[in-house]
């Protein structure tokens, strides 16, 4: 079974992503780089416990 893409996920679905997949997810969700106050904490959270797309927006691109 294939992994769901960003377009297939619900914005409130908890997803663990790390490294390049996380970078690609940020680009997809935010339309650009992460400009949050603490990008490293966001990366640790996303990789270790998972974050939703809605949380990713708040942490990386709140201007959206």
pLDDT at 1: 42
53 domain residue, yes or no: yes
The answer to whether the pTM exceeds 0.85 is no
- Residue 10 pLDDT class (50, 70, 90 cuts): confident
Query: Where residue 35 falls among pLDDT bands split at 50, 70, 90?
Result: confident
Examine residue 9 and state whether it is found in any structural domain, yes or no.
no
Report yes or no on 1 lying in a domain. no
Domain enclosing residue 30, as ranges: 14-60
CA distance 14 to 11: 8
Total tally of structural domains belonging to the chain: 1
Domain-located, residue 45: yes
Q: Which residues of 21-42 are buried (b: 16+ CB within 10 A; e: fewer)?
A: ebeebbeebbeeebebeeeeeb
Any domain includes 28: yes
């Amino acid at each position: 079974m294939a992994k769901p893409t960003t377009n297939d996920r619900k914005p409130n679905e908890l997803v663990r992503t790390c490294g390049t997949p996380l970078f690609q997810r940020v680009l997809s969700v935010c339309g650009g780089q992460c400009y949050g106050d603490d990008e490293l904490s966001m990366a640790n959270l996303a990789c270790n416990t998972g974050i939703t797309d809605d949380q990713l927006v708040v942490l990386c691109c709140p201007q959206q």
